[in-house]
Structure 1
């Protein structure tokens, strides 16, 4: 079972983090301010109430009647405050109401043993605190919105720089040696993105140098082998007829073909090859070449079209695809031409899974059921020649009707048992220019 993964941009992650932190800080600050304001207001109300009851007590001791609100020996006086006053001390008390305004009590003892008390509702709790809470909520929302907007701006800048770096790195991965991620990122502000860009550029330079070194070694070895192999082939022609001579000639021919293929791969890797363009009728060209290369193959022209391409390279691609189908597949072998698309299909066991995932790889001939002959360079050369033409070469297997394999694809879905391999050559609508650049041809969906 695949785990569900929610993907979002770094811009929104930063914005969400800032908004969450702002909301938490606002809530905590609002609770602290609300509590501190209430305590301060209650403290002030206690002092005012105590001063009032003291003033009334002095008048009561002078024989004056207590004003309305002040009572002697009030039966509703809280017990805690009553005990404090009876012990000869003055004090205040906050009486909370479950669903109302708190009462502020103050009591003082009189000389005759009586207790004078006064209580009034704490109106500030119902009037000022709700307004304070509203102000805190509005301020908190403004802070969260402002922080989120700032997060969008900051995250957007980081996201743009990372997208530029990813696009440049992808161009480097596709073989553009002149692209530098640091130049693509740009900007005045320096941050970790620049460190990442420099590291990617350094890695790309190191890989490019290693690839160039390997290409030079491959080309040098092939060049050095060409002369002795030619001499060996010439010497084999001078041997007397017989089975040993045939074996020597056969191996010498195979060795020369291998050397020529390695040289061709080295030239294609160097990206120095350029197409010599001509206008050819694709259907007619494919029909004539298939009759020469593999007469037993069938050709079906669905739609013919005139294309601007290099006939020599196109023939090389077609020949390698047919040779691969004949060597590793099974008859019948069918070639279809539909507009600018050429399909070569066999009815064998299909391409190996590694080739379908990663593409052709030199000196890899596939799984054991497709191994035994060849050096694994045919499809590599075909793919390289297709790049020179500005074309795209894709590979897939045809599922046997009504048969399901037990294996799974990378996405976790079952794949059909192979009933043949199909190589598809997509020729571009516009031919490559003299500099080798061309628009990338995307195959249609389906």
Structure 2
């Protein structure tokens, strides 16, 4: 009957039904059994090293759903002989926290520690998060919080300073295959799938171990003859929707991947991330705006048509809508990815803004100031101005920076695309400027 009990709160055995879900039946009994997080739990990993040293601290487990956060917390409590208490930030309020802290304090006075596992800890507000601090500091509880959101954005600095953030990875196909083999061993049945269909099943889980086991349990319950191929599997199972939060980490992660793929001149990768965002329900208008930004920041004058192409794709989408308009955006993705790249204009703009902030209120040189009044003429406004159209080569070479400012170099075009031509022009004008200045001195 040992397998029907689970040591939970205060170590008291709690009976569990024999027909419990497969995911619960093969839940790891030791940290070494946890799949997919070896780099954290191994001897050289952060958790493994802390346990070996006997110096486990409060933790924030950050990772996607179904990668073992709850299981790891439970096993850490077992490993350190602490009472395991689990609450969810979704269903718990101030009164619930007070009861948990009071019980932990009583336990602490009796010589036993408490590992408090808080699922979805990022959903607690600032005051609720602050309520953990004194109990963490005096040793009443060891906090293990679980979150799918970036702790840097969602958790208080005070809480983060008292806990170590540990990042858990989504499970690979190899990890999910190990879970499948455990499930087959536990149930005594093999999945009735061909090798390719088996791989498709694991892909449907999208790196979520709990989802994988639920899918496996569903397939194992089918009464079929022979092995199902991918087509037969897809008729019986719907593909799990990819994880995507238009306002969360996935939004920022995927747009970063798209932007960097375009910058890296990889049209295939760029199209993939573009499609991932659309499949996740992203607003195509957001993607259209971002494409224009890519054209301005990463292509610039290396291909002056890139910005126009991105704007036209956006306009096309606005005129004809989805799904046809998304094709125009996809073609813009390809064009931008294959366009020559230069951020010289972007760098020059930022340098100019920085120089403008540092240079204060210096006046332009008097010779380029208009003199609409006699007083301004007597002050030398416009005196000595050389009209460029009258100069040799249509270029006077005069100074247009403040008199006391050393001439800076802000724009440095690259040897790519149309900027190769602009680089020639910059160098030509620079040579003429030096020549004219030399002749002025003689």
Question: TM-score, normalising length from structure 1?
Answer: 0.20
Q: Which has the larger radius of gyration?
A: 1
Which structure carries more strand by proportion?
1
Question: TM-score, normalising length from structure 2?
Answer: 0.20
